[in-house]
Amino acid sequence: MSKVSSAFDILDTFKIERQKIALKEFHIERSWDALNFLNSAVASEKTKQLEHIYSEIEKQNPEGCYRLIFHTQGHPKQHLQYTLEPRELDPLPSTIRLYPWTDQRPPEALDQFKWSSRERWADLTRHLPDSADDLLLVTPTGHIKETSRFNVFCFSPAESCFYTPTLQVGCLNGVFRRAVLKNKVLPYPTYEKDLTLSSTSEMQIFVGNAVRGLIPAKIL
């Protein structure tokens, strides 16, 4: 029995630049982890399929942003079925204004992955005021989680490093987050840490994902 409803197909969003998917190894890694979460018995058989799919996509499509959905219905032994759609990016301000919102739902293992169903976020973002660009989810104990689009990164000038929330708070283990933690993207090391609104008051706030990169942010 799957741990997630078949409505929760695996979602990935990426950029193709110069016939290469940016951060491809981390996109493959996260898609495999999601497959493993759904059915660990067959995930090992899908590694080469995933590598082939991503390689063919970057060869056959022009530069741009794409939305890739792996369909989880059907027999698990079958070849992976997927849909690829070009995606237009909406403009964002140079600094993202974040509106803190307490998320009462306890963290779940499935929160680490990106699913095609966005109903939960659609419901949460109804609380977003006109003065803000995105919700910043905070746990009932005051720990920063994520936004509706981004992982959160806080730069400590005193320590010359970035911090990002731990997975235990219930945030997405995003592609950009994975790459940053392996020191593949940013000029400073990045570490996981439990962060609160008060503990980040002396830090520089950023948000980031695989498509947008790192963007300055401020908490309202």
Residues 108 and 188 in one domain: yes
pLDDT value at residue 3:
45
Residues 105 and 41 in one domain: no
- In 61-212, which ranges are continuous DSSP H helix? 119-124, 175-181
Contact 175, 30 (CB under 8 A): yes
Residues 130 and 198 in one domain: yes
Tens-digit pLDDT profile for residues 175-186: 999 999 998 899
Q: 53, 86, 119: which is the final residue of a domain? A: 86
pLDDT greater than 90 at residue 93: yes
Q: Which residue, chain included where needed, has tokens 């980040």?
A: 200
Please state the domain count of the chain: 2
Mean pLDDT score, 83-88? 96
Residue 1 located in a structural domain? no
Mean pLDDT score, 179-208? 95
Q: Global pTM?
A: 0.93
Tens-digit pLDDT profile for residues 105-160: 999 999 999 999 888 899 999 999 999 999 999 999 999 999 999 999 999 999 99
Please give the residue range of the domain that contains residue 130: 96-219
The Cα 216–Cα 97 span in angstroms is: 9
Residue 2 located in a structural domain? no
Residue 3 located in a structural domain? no
Residues 159 and 213 in one domain: yes
The Cα 204–Cα 80 span in angstroms is: 41
Residues 32 and 132 in one domain: no
Residue 161, domain CATH: 3.20.10.10
Residues 129 and 26 in one domain: no
Residues 80 and 118 in one domain: no
